[in-house]
Structure 1
């Protein structure tokens, strides 16, 4: 009886292993990784939030423009495919990546330890940082210590929000879906300051006039990278190769001069 039971169990085990191997082979033969899917379809889909000038935003004619838009187009060219942009609310941008709404995130995303737990990143293509913006004529705010008992605005889910949450004594951290909304509230006096990426703030202030001022104080130093699903190693490597070539060829420097007014890669 024991021999018969052993034979039956052995047969089941062998069958299970065979079926498992067959399924794995089937997946390898018929399934495509993301890079292969991109190459086959001829389209690289990029997820971003379109409320962060000069990185990604809508111009006067509602056309999607910005540094990351141009960079996405250049990366797609390197891969030999077309670039397709899919916009997403910032607070759900990582969840949408993991749900396969797009192939990667190219949206001025700072590389943080928390984010690295759930997605992978390229090497930094920009090193940014959070700075303070105040209304022109504000004499009582010079650095983060002066934010005590003040109402401070930031973009919801951004590293600006993280920086604001770490400053002791702030009366209220007001969170906005887009950083432009925060600047508008600052201009009319609804809040006392905004914490945002320095390059983004500098561009926005230049475009809107002289009603707001970007302070010299730097709160953080933040590397910005492209986000990928953790199992998309092949796509990540191919995009990183494209980034390296674009930097070596001087394309990134040209984009920097176009959108920031100076070469951040020097």
Structure 2
């Protein structure tokens, strides 16, 4: 072997030694079983992930789903704190194994993998007065109706395109829009419905509505791209099974009850029930 070959061999050895240990094995699924831990990314966003400021314990639908899937594998679920902006990079860097409630956008699909089966569904909803008789988006699209929405969001775009007569009031944050509803400055607030339910839990005012037509949005879970995709295939199988059994919706209702919210009449996470 000549000197150049020796140098190349040394460089290659250095590169492979720097890779995560599981890369030379069978992938994430084998590593999770070996380590006895399923690491899930968590980022503050109720009802999916909530960190108690006193105990620092994580709860929420995403956490409960992680615990359920860890149980399927006979391992421990370990939350790893991240942010929504860093979720994809965190998965690629092997900081955690999976991130729940991550929508499978075309841009994200270029960087990470997603199962074919959805985790569950949510939809654009409205927080309206208890006395409101509205049932459709058309019912809310009147000149007298003041609608609050968060500036610059996809919901802002959707409401602007859909509502032609209603007065659209834009706020810098979800909380500001909800505060405007509480003070009577707007008649309805449009957000994705699980977020509205959590806002309602704090406000104890109005009711959450899924106006017709309802357009379900499928959410999922992200993970690293691997060949063969054994972990993704396993997650896909489990998602299909758990959704068919109504588990995500059960976890959502359990979380609502933990916040002293009666889930009766509140739209869940199964589009078939809407």
TM-score range, shorter chain: 0.5 to 0.7
1:71 corresponds, among 65, 73, 86, to: 65
1:103 corresponds, among 85, 97, 119, to: 97
1:237 aligns with 2:233: yes
For residues 247 and 215 of structure 1, what CA distance do their matches in structure 2 show? 21
Tell whether the 8 Å contact from 1:183 to 1:194 is kept in structure 2 after alignment. Answer: yes
1:226 aligns with 2:221: yes
- Report Cα offsets for 1:138-196 as digits up to 9, x if no partner: 999x738749997844498xxxx2232242488675454xx556534543468775432
Q: TM-score, normalised by structure 1?
A: 0.67
1:246 aligns with 2:246: no
Q: CA deviation at 1:80?
A: 1.9
- Counterpart for residue 255 of structure 1: 251
1:163 aligns with 2:159: no
Instruction: Say which one has the larger Rg.
Output: 1
- Counterpart for residue 208 of structure 1: 203
Q: Secondary structure at the match of 2:85?
A: helix
- What does residue range 1-266 of structure 1 map to in structure 2 within 5 Å? 31-32=22-23, 33-53=27-47, 55-58=48-51, 63-106=57-100, 108-122=101-115, 123-134=117-128, 143=137, 146=141, 152-154=148-150, 161-166=153-158, 167-168=160-161, 173-176=170-173, 179=174, 182-184=177-179, 186-188=181-183, 194-206=189-201, 208-211=203-206, 214=209, 216-217=211-212, 220-231=215-226, 233-247=229-243, 251-252=247-248, 254-259=250-255, 260-261=263-264, 264=270
Detail structure 1 runs of 4+ shifted over 6 Å in the superposition.
Answer: 14-28, 135-140, 147-151, 169-172, 189-192
- Report Cα offsets for 1:204-223 as digits up to 9, x if no partner: 42553125654624563201
Residue ranges of structure 1 left out of the alignment (5+ in a row): 1-10
For residues 255 and 213 of structure 1, what CA distance do their matches in structure 2 show? 19
> Residue 66 and residue 191 in structure 1: after superposition, are their counterparts in 2 closer, same or farther (change >3 A)?
same
For residues 155 and 82 of structure 1, what CA distance do their matches in structure 2 show? 40
Q: CA deviation at 1:57?
A: 2.3
CA RMSD of aligned residues (A): 4.4
Q: CA deviation at 1:21?
A: 10
Q: CA deviation at 1:237?
A: 1.5
> Residue 213 and residue 87 in structure 1: after superposition, are their counterparts in 2 closer, same or farther (change >3 A)?
same
For residues 76 and 20 of structure 1, what CA distance do their matches in structure 2 show? 38
Q: CA deviation at 1:70?
A: 1.1
- Report Cα offsets for 1:32-63 as digits up to 9, x if no partner: 3222222222111111322222x322468554
Aligned residues: 249
For residues 172 and 210 of structure 1, what CA distance do their matches in structure 2 show? 19
Q: Secondary structure at the match of 1:71?
A: helix
Say which structure is richer in strand: 1
> Residue 60 and residue 75 in structure 1: after superposition, are their counterparts in 2 closer, same or farther (change >3 A)?
same
Residue ranges of structure 2 left out of the alignment (5+ in a row): 256-262
> Residue 210 and residue 190 in structure 1: after superposition, are their counterparts in 2 closer, same or farther (change >3 A)?
closer
Q: TM-score, normalised by structure 2?
A: 0.65
Tell whether the 8 Å contact from 1:152 to 1:174 is kept in structure 2 after alignment. Answer: yes
